[in-house]
């Protein structure tokens, strides 16, 4: 096909569609004549058709309005052209990655043991494997001395250094800190190691890094020249959440000019300032800022030495908690010096506008990343000072979508602008932007400017697994996707066979470019027999045939089922008798006899305090409550008669558990905040208050430090046990999907 080989003009969106299907490397090889297109021609034809006709007429993209309760609630099935069911804003795109992986043999026996190793990891290149020097996992912390470029690679527990800031997409870094080479990513506590480094700052001689999960600041007094070079000075002392000059807890942001040092102690809601550069380990700060109690969880720091800006995720201003940025128009010189003003993102178009972090140009302009890229001609002097230029972010009117997230940072080196994205890419402008629609010039970490580096490598966020012993499913509320392995993978980094996109982007319409099509972020899933279901926000999708071939859901309820209205769905489960849906905001769990179809009402409604994920093995129903730090366990045979639940956990026992799983009488609790998965052989033992029979992700009950190593975990949030293998998804500040085998 001429389009695939590049011999014919390529319509808008074609390359992006093909990259999502076969990857940028293979597309490039075909374009360069290094490989002939075979089966890829069929995918190219699908992409071409997909871009020209309503998506629901294709297998590559389909739509379903789901059953209409007013019409009796019968399954609508896949919408067909001319059927009257086509709703452009409610579509599902399905892609089929080229994949090959060994299948797990099953047949395991025995039980789990504390601190045992995991077998494989998905949503990662492997254990202790970064994928290489130009594969990033949430890059952040950009800083420069005007020549070098320094970037923290947060999830890979390393800092990457280019001795000369990159000028093209394939320019590899020259140096790595925190690791002995560019391949490994294991965390550690030595002076040459790191655990989740978020930020860096340099004056050209000194280098400072926030070693966030180790509650410390690493300082090199002379700029490092070798891999894994140990830090010269360590500032630490994170003991509690109380602000203090010797208390550094979960530090995110850092800034130095070589004379002064400022650190955001996120866990203690404060900013610490050293008036002169530290000279010894543990040296306490000279100044303490709390914003008169307004600093909540300060994240990032921006300064030119004359002013100070602190981005905060939970700023306590105006009687509520909001993300935003505190400005001191003169650099603080006294304890608790009041801030001058507070601003939210200048565009503020997200439901929760982000905080700002940035850098100054050589001529004094301020460049900041928020919801998009903003440039002020001078340092703002009040909250009403608007930027001179803001990129039309989120893809609006031709602007560039920077995929803002917790890790978004920006630094200016000469006239070149470097920006980290939540898509694990480093985006580069060769000159400081002068228009709102100016596109970047190149990118590192992905095959193209408009490619999400995470999705290109199938690195998920918040994976929630479900396995029946034959196939594996993993949904993600952050990615708005469902990943499907038709067979149970037996090797790390196995690529899924099918990916359902519930939010996808198009390039064929300038007004809709990069605006999400569809609206579904699945929070929980469930699998029983041939039935699979997803629930999230106010939407419930149910497949009566497992979604292993790209088939669409038989039922797609939005807003409610029958007389039941949905508000915030956070849990779904089913067994031989019942189908359960948790609505967190309503504080209720609805129970239907069989699959809900809009024709019958729930047989029971359970009161539950902010219920989250659900699980049932036919004997027990587990109703997890993250904010309640525990779970309620109901006997399934007593649900219809309003049997009272039994409690497991509670405040002081678990720390913000995201999910509880019951399977064949076993109980698994994802104790998220403690980075542990607790395992009981018998549910009754947990109810009786007996200790867990095994603790995964820790060497003991007191080992709660989050790590991405093989026998540790980082915020486990959801688990699925299929009788042979236990699959555990990590949340938010990790993203791995790890497998454990009993015995």
- In the CATH scheme, what architecture does the domain 139-385 have? 6 Propeller (2.120)
Say whether pLDDT at 44 is over 50. Answer: yes
Categorize the per-residue pLDDT at 239 as very low, low, confident or very high, splitting at 50, 70 and 90. Answer: confident
Torsion, Cα 150 156 157 158, to 10 degrees, reads -30
Core vs surface per residue 553-576: b (16+ CB within 10 A) or e: bbbbbbebbbebebeebbbbbbbe
Please write the tens of the pLDDT for every residue from 539-576.
999 999 999 999 999 999 999 999 999 999 999 999 99
Q: Tell me which DSSP letter residue 160 carries.
A: E
In sequence order, what are the beta bridge partners of 176? 160
Is the model more confident about 54 or about 331?
331
Using the structure block, give the residue that is written with the tokens 């849906």: 581
Q: Tell me what the mean pLDDT of segment 93-107 comes to.
A: 93
Write the burial class of residue 519 (CB in 10 Å: 0-12 exposed, 13-18 middle, 19+ buried). Answer: middle
Angstrom distance (rounded) from CA 552 to CA 310: 46
The confidence score (pLDDT) of residue 519 equals 75
Most trustworthy range by pLDDT among 3-17, 80-94, 227-241, 717-731: 717-731
| C-alpha–C-alpha distance, residues 195 and 214, integer Å | 6
Domain coordinates of the chain in residue numbers?
A: 1-53, 139-385, 458-740
d(CA 592, CA 498): 30
Determine the Cα angle at 628 with ends 626 and 629, to 5°.
Answer: 65
| 17 has pLDDT over 70 | no
Q: Which two tokens stand for residue 624?
A: 């997890």
Helical axes 40-52 vs 14-22, angle rounded to 10°: 140
Segment 631-653 mean pLDDT = 93
In contact, 141 and 409? CB cutoff 8 Å:
yes
pTM, full prediction? 0.87
Domains 139-385 and 458-740 agree in fold: yes
What string of DSSP letters covers 13-28? THHHHHHHHH-HHHHH
pLDDT, position 50: 41
Contact present, 729 and 465 (Cβ < 8 Å): yes
Taking the C-alpha atoms of residue 536 and residue 319, their distance in angstroms, rounded to an integer, is: 30
Res 681 pLDDT > 70: yes
| Res. 350 pLDDT band, cuts 50 70 90 | very low
Q: How does pLDDT run across 352-399, given as a tens digit for each residue?
A: 568 999 999 999 999 999 989 999 999 999 999 999 999 987 655 678
HSE on the CB side for 161, CA within 13 Å? 27
- Across the chain, mean pLDDT equals 88
CATH superfamily of 458-740: TolB, C-terminal domain (2.120.10.30)
- 226-231 contact pairs (CB < 8 A, 24+): 226/175, 227/175, 227/176, 227/177, 227/179, 227/180, 227/181, 228/176, 228/177, 228/178, 228/179, 228/180, 228/192, 228/193, 229/177, 229/192, 230/190, 230/191, 230/192, 231/191, 231/192
Of 557, 558, 565, the residue nearest 583 (C-alpha): 565
Q: Which residue has the higher pLDDT, 36 or 468?
A: 468
DSSP 117: P
């Amino acid at each position: 096909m001429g389009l695939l080989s590049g011999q014919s003009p390529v319509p808008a969106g074609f390359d992006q569609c093909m990259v999502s299907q076969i990857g940028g490397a293979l597309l490039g090889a075909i374009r360069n004549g290094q490989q002939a297109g075979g089966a890829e021609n069929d995918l190219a034809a699908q992409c071409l058709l997909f871009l020209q006709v309503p998506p629901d007429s294709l297998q590559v993209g389909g739509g379903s309005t789901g059953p209409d309760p007013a019409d009796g609630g019968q399954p609508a099935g896949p919408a067909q052209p001319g059927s009257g069911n086509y709703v452009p804003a409610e579509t599902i795109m399905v892609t089929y990655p080229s994949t090959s992986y060994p299948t797990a043999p099953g047949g395991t026996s025995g039980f789990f043991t504390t601190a045992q190793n995991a077998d494989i990891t998905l949503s990662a290149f492997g254990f202790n494997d970064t994928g290489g020097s130009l594969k990033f996992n949430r890059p952040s912390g950009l800083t420069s001395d005007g020549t070098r470029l320094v970037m923290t690679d947060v999830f890979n527990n390393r800092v990457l250094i280019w001795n000369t800031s990159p000028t093209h997409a394939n320019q590899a870094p020259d140096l790595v800190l925190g690791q002995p080479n560019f391949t490994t990513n294991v965390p550690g506590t030595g002076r040459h190691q790191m655990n989740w480094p978020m930020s860096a700052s340099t004056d050209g001689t000194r280098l400072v890094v926030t070693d966030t999960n180790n509650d410390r600041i690493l300082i090199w007094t002379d700029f490092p020249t070798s891999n894994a070079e140990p830090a010269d000075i360590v500032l630490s002392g994170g003991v509690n959440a109380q602000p203090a000059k010797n208390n550094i807890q979960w530090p995110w942001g850092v800034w130095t000019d070589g004379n002064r040092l400022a650190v955001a102690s996120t866990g203690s809601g404060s900013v610490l300032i050293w008036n002169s550069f530290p000279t010894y380990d543990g040296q306490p700060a000279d100044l303490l800022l709390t914003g008169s109690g307004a600093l909540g969880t300060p994240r990032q720091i921006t300064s030119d030495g004359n002013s100070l800006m602190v981005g905060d995720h939970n700023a306590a201003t105006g009687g509520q908690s909001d993300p935003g940025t505190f400005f001191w128009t003169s650099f603080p010189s006294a304890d608790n010096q009041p801030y001058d003003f507070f601003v939210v993102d200048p565009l503020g178009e997200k439901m929760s506008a982000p905080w700002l972090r940035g850098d100054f140009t050589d001529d004094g302009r301020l460049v900041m990343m928020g919801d998009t890229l903003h440039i002020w001609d001078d340092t703002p002097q009040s909250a009403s000072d608007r930027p001179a230029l803001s990129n039309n972010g989120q893809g609006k009117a031709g602007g560039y979508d920077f995929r803002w997230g917790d890790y978004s940072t920006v630094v200016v080196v000469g006239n070149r602008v470097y920006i980290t994205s939540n898509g694990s890419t480093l985006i580069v402008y060769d000159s400081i932007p002068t228009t709102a629609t100016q596109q970047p010039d190149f990118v590192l970490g992905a095959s193209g400017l408009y490619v999400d580096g995470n999705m290109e490598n199938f690195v998920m966020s918040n994976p929630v697994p479900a396995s029946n012993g034959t196939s594996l499913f993993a949904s993600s509320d952050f990615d708005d996707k469902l990943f499907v392995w038709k067979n149970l993978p037996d090797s790390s980094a196995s690529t899924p066979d099918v990916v359902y996109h519930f939010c996808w982007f198009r390039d064929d319409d300038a007004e809709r470019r990069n605006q999400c099509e569809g609206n579904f972020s699945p929070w929980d899933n469930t699998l029983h027999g041939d039935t699979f279901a997803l629930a999230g926000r106010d939407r419930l999708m149910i497949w009566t045939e497992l979604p292993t071939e790209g088939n669409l859901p038989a039922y797609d309820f939005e807003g409610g089922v029958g007389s039941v209205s949905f508000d915030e769905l956070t849990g779904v489960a089913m067994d031989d008798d019942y189908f359960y849906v948790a609505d967190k905001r309503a504080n209720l769990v609805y129970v239907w006899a069989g699959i809900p179809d809009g024709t019958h009402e729930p047989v029971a409604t359970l009161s539950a305090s902010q219920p989250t994920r659900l699980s049932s093995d036919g004997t027990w129903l587990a109703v997890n409550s993250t904010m309640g730090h525990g779970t309620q366990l109901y006997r399934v045979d007593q649900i219809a008669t309003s049997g009272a639940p039994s409690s497991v956990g509670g405040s002081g026992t678990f720390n913000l558990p995201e999910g509880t799983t019951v399977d064949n009488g076993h109980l698994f609790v994802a104790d998220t905040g403690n980075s542990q998965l607790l395992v009981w052989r018998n549910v009754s033992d947990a109810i009786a208050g007996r200790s867990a029979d095994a603790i995964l992700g820790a060497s003991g009950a007191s080992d709660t430090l989050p790590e991405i190593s093989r026998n540790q975990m980082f915020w486990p949030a959801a688990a699925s046990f299929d009788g042979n293998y236990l699959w555990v998804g990590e949340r938010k500040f990790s993203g791995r999907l790890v497998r454990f085998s009993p015995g």
